Structure 1
């Protein structure tokens, strides 16, 4: 009888705190073989009858040590079906994203996309695909963007987030037009100083829900 593929839920957990210069992602050493001790994205096998959202939250909580209340949003990203991606046998990987809010402590390491070390399985490949998908989602999918950027933010923070996900610094004028077109987002008229020198940055804020 042909072996059935297991379904793995692998999560790119993103954190972009108020004091973070760029978004970072959570990885942690694996506790068990295969690849015991090697860094990996948080992942779990999908349980019978379990929803993808619940499995993703379980992976982030149990593998990274992030409190459940700090997992602000979760969504589906892509599927990876390379038959030999797991030495234990055929495993279908459903990549999910999660946005992580402020919390006290966890068991994760949080590198930026440009500083990700070698990871177990095909997780570096998953991250390469995920980064381009995140760049497409940014400023289009508010379920993803809003918890990541925060309820209010200076324009410089929007520039830095865009550059981190796309790999290029956006044109300020084009970015301002993109922000102005987002439903529920407004330029407040306030300015905040984010650097010791230079002009204070414009402040943007989402309407209260």
Structure 2
């Protein structure tokens, strides 16, 4: 059945790493229905009867910002009584990684969003920071199959808001299961070769 459940929503913080701008970005799109018609929002949907959270998150990203995701997971639940003008609702906040034609913002540049989505970002950002370099599914999806050290620095800095210590970051990278220094090198400024890290291919 496709009946809408009793106002349980799934809202997705859909992320990508923008290598050109060297920052982690999140996707929004203006809402096309009331409430908050025309106001930018995170992609979200009301949970259908019998629908799994992951399926709803996929549906939210595909239907609201027009692209699929390479990985996703659950973050936390928001239950403030006045968070939705349509009535009392719960929102399950999810993370996803993907890329496509959306309105992309850095965490520190996000405009005023619909519902309590700015609160969601504020409260979920530390959770995402804690996942980086710990949750390998999340980290691999964000970095891609291979990445230079400069990307690791930029991802850490723009997601956390704090510039990482490079020595500590390199030690963290070296400790990760399935991650190794590649034989490739990337030319940085002034012709200096930079280290490239690559993930092992997942087991078939």
TM-score (normalised: structure 1): 0.90
The aligned counterpart of 1:92 is 90
Q: Distance in 1 between matches of 2:168 and 2:94?
A: 29
> 1:60-93, CA deviations, whole angstroms, 9 ceiling, x for partnerless residues?
0001111x3xx10110011001011001100101
The match for 1:83 among 77, 81, 84 is 81
Q: Secondary structure at the match of 1:86?
A: coil
Residues 72 and 100 of structure 1 are in contact (CA less than 8 Å); yes or no, is this contact kept in structure 2? yes
The aligned counterpart of 1:63 is 64
The match for 1:203 among 190, 196, 199 is 196
Q: Distance in 1 between matches of 2:194 and 2:123?
A: 32
The aligned counterpart of 1:39 is 40
Q: Secondary structure at the match of 1:146?
A: helix
List, as ranges, runs of 4+ consecutive aligned residues in structure 1 with deviation greater than 6 Å: none
Q: Distance in 1 between matches of 2:21 and 2:77?
A: 29
Instruction: Tell me: CA distance 1:177–1:44, structure 2 relative to 1, closer, same or farther (3 Å).
Output: same
Provide structure 2 residue ranges, at least 5 long, that are not aligned to the other structure.
none
Q: Distance in 2 between matches of 1:16 and 1:161?
A: 7
Q: Secondary structure at the match of 2:190?
A: coil
Q: Distance in 2 between matches of 1:39 and 1:151?
A: 31
- After TM superposition, give the deviation of residue 131 of structure 1 in Å: 1.3
Q: Alignment RMSD, CA only?
A: 1.5
- After TM superposition, give the deviation of residue 17 of structure 1 in Å: 4.1
The aligned counterpart of 2:157 is 163
Quick check: 1:124 aligned with 2:125?
Answer: no
Residues 5 and 91 of structure 1 are in contact (CA less than 8 Å); yes or no, is this contact kept in structure 2? yes
Q: Distance in 2 between matches of 1:19 and 1:50?
A: 37
Quick check: 1:12 aligned with 2:13?
Answer: yes
Q: Distance in 2 between matches of 1:52 and 1:172?
A: 37
Q: Distance in 2 between matches of 1:164 and 1:39?
A: 21
Structure number having the greater strand percentage: 2
Quick check: 1:178 aligned with 2:176?
Answer: no
Q: Distance in 1 between matches of 2:150 and 2:108?
A: 20
- After TM superposition, give the deviation of residue 191 of structure 1 in Å: 2.2
Q: Distance in 1 between matches of 2:191 and 2:123?
A: 36
Q: Distance in 2 between matches of 1:198 and 1:54?
A: 46
Provide structure 1 residue ranges, at least 5 long, that are not aligned to the other structure.
none
